[in-house]
């Protein structure tokens, strides 16, 4: 996989088949990634791993809020909102 330097700057490649490296990569994307990077993640996997990622408190709260709203059905994607 081609790594983006603003997400992963300490390695040239990672093995996403290795569970530790995959969790680390997801954490990096959620912390440093851009919208297009975050959109490439598997949302079910992110939700399942959220408690294990050791994210900064603000970032963890953001994603917990997102998944809670989505579960309750109160999340409306920006593309479907009428302003």
The three-class DSSP label of residue 59 is: helix
22-77 pLDDT, tens digit each: 999 999 999 999 999 999 999 999 999 999 999 999 999 999 999 998 888 876 66
59: domain range? 43-72
Domain tally, the chain: 1
Residue 33 lies in a domain: no
- pTM beyond 0.95: no
Give CA separation, 53 vs 2, 73, 74, 78, 83, in Å. 22, 25, 25, 26, 35
Q: What is the pLDDT of residue 50?
A: 94
What pLDDT is stored for residue 55 in this prediction? 96
Decide if 3 is inside a domain. Answer: no
Domain for residue 68, yes or no? Answer: yes
- The pLDDT assigned to 54 comes to 95
Work out the end-to-end distance of the chain between its first and last CA atoms, rounded to an integer number of angstroms. 38
Instruction: Give mean pLDDT, residues 2-28.
Output: 86
Q: Is 29 among the domain residues?
A: no
Asked if 53 and 30 touch (Cβ cutoff 8 Å), the reply is yes
CA dist., res. 47 & res. 82, Å (int): 27
Residue 80 confidence (pLDDT): 60
Is position 55 within any domain? yes
Return the pLDDT at 83. 53
> What's the whole-number mean pLDDT along residues 15-26?
92
């Amino acid at each position: 996989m081609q790594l983006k330097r603003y997400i992963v700057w300490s390695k040239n490649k990672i093995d996403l088949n290795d569970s530790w490296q995959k969790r680390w990569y997801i954490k990096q994307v959620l912390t440093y990634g851009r919208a297009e990077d975050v959109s490439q993640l598997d949302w079910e996997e992110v939700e399942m791993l959220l408690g294990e990622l050791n994210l900064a408190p603000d970032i963890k709260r953001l994603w917990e809020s997102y998944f809670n709203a989505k579960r309750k059905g109160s999340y409306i994607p920006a593309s479907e909102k009428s302003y």
